[in-house]
Structure 1
């Protein structure tokens, strides 16, 4: 699965969670917080999954420290999949 996330549509952390949950089709049960993001990425997203964050620089500017936390969760998830030796993994790319 490949997901495309457009950073120009994200100006706040709330918008991030709304766009992210819509992208995965989980709006009805997604908690819209960092714990929910971590839970979904570590256990509920079908692997392999490659998330492409287009215009990520726009999000980085708009979100500030929230952007750093999101990327840390992405990286933690990626490293977790590597640690478990999974062939099908979560990966991400910032463009």
Structure 2
């Protein structure tokens, strides 16, 4: 599954959670924090997933580098975990 989020529409942490939850169908009990994001992405989302974060520089400017890097770090960590497990069907992320 290919999932695209539009970074020009992401101006807050809530916007990121909304976009990912909607696109990846996290359900009504999603905790909307980084731990919950990790839990959903690392264990609950069916693979393969190719996440493309378009206009990521716009998100970074709106959120600030620290917040953007906290979220991007979780996404990259999920991708790295799938790779380290040697999964054929993986989660991948690309920042454009």
Aligned ranges 1:15-94 → 2 under 5 Å:
15-64=15-64, 65-94=66-95
Is the CA contact (8 Å cut-off) linking 1:18 and 1:27 kept in structure 2?
no
C-alpha contact 2:26 2:40 (8 A) present in aligned 1: no
Which structure 1 residue ranges, 4+ long, deviate > 2 Å from structure 2?
none
Equivalent pairs, count: 95
- SS of 1:52's equivalent in the other structure is strand
Q: Once the 2 structures are TM-superposed, how far is the Cα of residue 25 of structure 1 from its aligned partner?
A: 2.3
Whether the aligned pair in 2 keeps the contact of 1:4 and 1:52 (CA below 8 Å) is yes
Question: Secondary structure of 2:92's match?
Answer: strand
Say which SS state the counterpart of residue 29 (structure 2) adopts. Answer: coil
Q: CA RMSD in A?
A: 1.0
SS at 2:38 equivalent: helix
- 2:77 & 2:89 partners in 1: Cα distance? 16
Q: Give the superposition deviation at 1:27.
A: 4.5
SS at match of 1:59: helix
Gaps of 5+ in 2: none
Distance in 2, matches of 1:45 and 1:25, equals 8
Q: Secondary structure at the match of 2:32?
A: coil
TM-score by length of 1: 0.94
